[in-house]
Structure 1
Amino acid sequence: MFSVANEEFSVVTSSSWFRCGNLCKLVLLEISRLLNTGLDMESLSICVRLCEQGINPEALSAVIKELRKASETLKVSENCTN
Protein backbone atom coordinates (compact mmCIF):
# COMPACT_ATOMS: atom_id res chain seq x y z
CA MET A 1 0.00 0.00 0.00
CA PHE A 2 1.23 3.52 -0.71
CA SER A 3 -0.19 6.97 -0.29
CA VAL A 4 -0.26 10.01 -2.52
CA ALA A 5 -1.77 13.32 -1.44
CA ASN A 6 -3.26 11.72 1.70
CA GLU A 7 -5.01 8.96 -0.23
CA GLU A 8 -4.21 5.29 0.20
CA PHE A 9 -3.90 3.02 -2.82
CA SER A 10 -3.55 -0.73 -2.87
CA VAL A 11 -1.28 -2.58 -5.23
CA VAL A 12 -3.47 -4.54 -7.64
CA THR A 13 -3.45 -8.03 -6.17
CA SER A 14 -6.16 -10.45 -5.08
CA SER A 15 -9.42 -8.51 -5.19
CA SER A 16 -7.79 -5.12 -4.64
CA TRP A 17 -8.89 -3.74 -8.03
CA PHE A 18 -12.12 -2.48 -6.44
CA ARG A 19 -10.21 -0.90 -3.53
CA CYS A 20 -7.60 0.56 -5.84
CA GLY A 21 -8.17 4.29 -6.23
CA ASN A 22 -8.65 6.09 -9.50
CA LEU A 23 -4.99 7.12 -9.56
CA CYS A 24 -3.91 3.48 -9.44
CA LYS A 25 -6.33 2.59 -12.24
CA LEU A 26 -5.12 5.50 -14.35
CA VAL A 27 -1.51 4.42 -13.83
CA LEU A 28 -2.39 0.90 -15.00
CA LEU A 29 -4.24 2.34 -17.99
CA GLU A 30 -1.20 4.48 -18.87
CA ILE A 31 1.11 1.46 -18.62
CA SER A 32 -1.31 -0.44 -20.84
CA ARG A 33 -1.26 2.44 -23.34
CA LEU A 34 2.54 2.65 -23.31
CA LEU A 35 2.71 -1.08 -24.04
CA ASN A 36 0.27 -0.62 -26.94
CA THR A 37 -2.13 -3.23 -25.60
CA GLY A 38 -5.15 -1.56 -27.17
CA LEU A 39 -7.16 -2.14 -23.99
CA ASP A 40 -9.56 0.51 -22.76
CA MET A 41 -10.34 0.99 -19.06
CA GLU A 42 -13.26 -1.46 -19.12
CA SER A 43 -11.26 -4.18 -20.90
CA LEU A 44 -8.26 -3.64 -18.63
CA SER A 45 -10.53 -3.85 -15.59
CA ILE A 46 -11.98 -7.15 -16.82
CA CYS A 47 -8.50 -8.56 -17.46
CA VAL A 48 -7.28 -7.55 -13.99
CA ARG A 49 -10.34 -9.13 -12.37
CA LEU A 50 -9.84 -12.34 -14.36
CA CYS A 51 -6.21 -12.50 -13.24
CA GLU A 52 -7.31 -11.91 -9.65
CA GLN A 53 -9.60 -14.92 -10.03
CA GLY A 54 -6.64 -17.09 -11.00
CA ILE A 55 -6.65 -16.90 -14.80
CA ASN A 56 -3.15 -17.27 -16.21
CA PRO A 57 -2.15 -13.84 -17.63
CA GLU A 58 -0.21 -15.40 -20.52
CA ALA A 59 -3.19 -17.56 -21.48
CA LEU A 60 -5.46 -14.50 -21.26
CA SER A 61 -3.10 -12.59 -23.53
CA ALA A 62 -3.13 -15.43 -26.06
CA VAL A 63 -6.94 -15.51 -26.05
CA ILE A 64 -7.14 -11.75 -26.59
CA LYS A 65 -4.70 -11.99 -29.51
CA GLU A 66 -6.71 -14.83 -31.09
CA LEU A 67 -9.98 -12.92 -30.66
CA ARG A 68 -8.43 -9.88 -32.35
CA LYS A 69 -7.21 -12.03 -35.26
CA ALA A 70 -10.64 -13.63 -35.64
CA SER A 71 -12.32 -10.22 -35.50
CA GLU A 72 -9.99 -8.83 -38.17
CA THR A 73 -10.55 -11.88 -40.38
CA LEU A 74 -14.30 -11.46 -40.01
CA LYS A 75 -14.10 -7.76 -40.90
CA VAL A 76 -12.03 -8.54 -44.00
CA SER A 77 -14.44 -11.24 -45.14
CA GLU A 78 -17.42 -8.91 -44.59
CA ASN A 79 -15.71 -6.21 -46.66
CA CYS A 80 -15.07 -8.70 -49.47
CA THR A 81 -18.75 -9.70 -49.62
CA ASN A 82 -19.95 -6.09 -49.75
Structure 2
Amino acid sequence: MAPTGDEARLQSARETIDALYDLSQLLQTGLDKQTLSICTGMIEAGTNPETLAEVIKELRSQNEASKRRT
Protein backbone atom coordinates (compact mmCIF):
# COMPACT_ATOMS: atom_id res chain seq x y z
CA MET A 1 0.00 0.00 0.00
CA ALA A 2 1.37 3.42 -0.99
CA PRO A 3 1.86 5.99 1.78
CA THR A 4 -0.65 8.83 2.03
CA GLY A 5 0.41 12.41 1.41
CA ASP A 6 0.73 13.06 5.14
CA GLU A 7 2.80 9.91 5.67
CA ALA A 8 5.07 10.82 2.75
CA ARG A 9 5.59 14.35 4.13
CA LEU A 10 6.34 12.96 7.58
CA GLN A 11 8.85 10.49 6.13
CA SER A 12 10.47 13.27 4.10
CA ALA A 13 10.72 15.46 7.22
CA ARG A 14 12.36 12.61 9.16
CA GLU A 15 14.87 12.05 6.37
CA THR A 16 15.66 15.77 6.29
CA ILE A 17 16.23 15.91 10.04
CA ASP A 18 18.38 12.77 9.86
CA ALA A 19 20.52 14.37 7.14
CA LEU A 20 20.78 17.62 9.10
CA TYR A 21 21.74 15.65 12.20
CA ASP A 22 24.48 13.81 10.30
CA LEU A 23 25.82 17.15 9.06
CA SER A 24 25.52 18.58 12.57
CA GLN A 25 27.58 15.68 13.92
CA LEU A 26 30.28 16.22 11.29
CA LEU A 27 30.43 19.91 12.20
CA GLN A 28 30.37 19.08 15.92
CA THR A 29 27.56 21.53 16.67
CA GLY A 30 26.34 19.62 19.72
CA LEU A 31 22.72 19.96 18.56
CA ASP A 32 20.41 16.98 18.98
CA LYS A 33 17.64 16.02 16.54
CA GLN A 34 14.93 17.72 18.59
CA THR A 35 16.85 20.99 18.73
CA LEU A 36 17.63 20.79 15.00
CA SER A 37 13.95 20.21 14.30
CA ILE A 38 12.98 23.25 16.38
CA CYS A 39 15.62 25.40 14.69
CA THR A 40 14.52 24.24 11.25
CA GLY A 41 10.92 25.12 12.06
CA MET A 42 11.97 28.56 13.30
CA ILE A 43 13.97 29.21 10.13
CA GLU A 44 11.08 28.03 7.95
CA ALA A 45 8.85 30.46 9.90
CA GLY A 46 11.16 33.34 9.00
CA THR A 47 13.76 33.52 11.76
CA ASN A 48 17.10 34.80 10.55
CA PRO A 49 19.52 31.82 10.65
CA GLU A 50 22.53 33.91 11.66
CA THR A 51 20.60 35.52 14.50
CA LEU A 52 19.39 32.11 15.66
CA ALA A 53 22.97 30.80 15.65
CA GLU A 54 24.11 33.79 17.72
CA VAL A 55 21.31 33.23 20.24
CA ILE A 56 22.28 29.56 20.58
CA LYS A 57 25.93 30.52 21.12
CA GLU A 58 24.96 33.11 23.74
CA LEU A 59 22.73 30.65 25.58
CA ARG A 60 25.56 28.12 25.62
CA SER A 61 27.97 30.73 26.97
CA GLN A 62 25.55 31.69 29.71
CA ASN A 63 24.99 28.03 30.57
CA GLU A 64 28.73 27.39 30.82
CA ALA A 65 29.25 30.50 32.95
CA SER A 66 26.44 29.39 35.24
CA LYS A 67 28.00 25.94 35.60
CA ARG A 68 31.39 27.46 36.53
CA ARG A 69 29.80 29.55 39.29
CA THR A 70 28.27 26.52 41.05
TM-score by length of 1: 0.69
| 1:21-51 superposed Cα distances (whole Å, 9 cap, x missing partner) | 4322211110111111110000000000000
Higher helix share: 2
Are 2:66 and 1:69 equivalent residues in the alignment? no
Amino acid of the residue matched to residue 23 of structure 1? E
Are 2:43 and 1:51 equivalent residues in the alignment? yes
Between the aligned residues of both structures, percent identity stands at 41
| Structure 1 position 19, deviation (Å) | 6.3
TM-score by length of 2: 0.79
| Structure 1 position 71, deviation (Å) | 0.2
Which sections of structure 2, spanning at least 5 residues, go unmatched?
Answer: 4-8
Q: Aligned Cα RMSD in Å?
A: 2.0
Q: How many pairs were matched up?
A: 63
Q: Which runs of 4+ in 1 moved over 3 A?
A: none
State the structure with more CA Rg: 1
Are 2:51 and 1:32 equivalent residues in the alignment? no
Which residue does the alignment assign to 2:52? 60
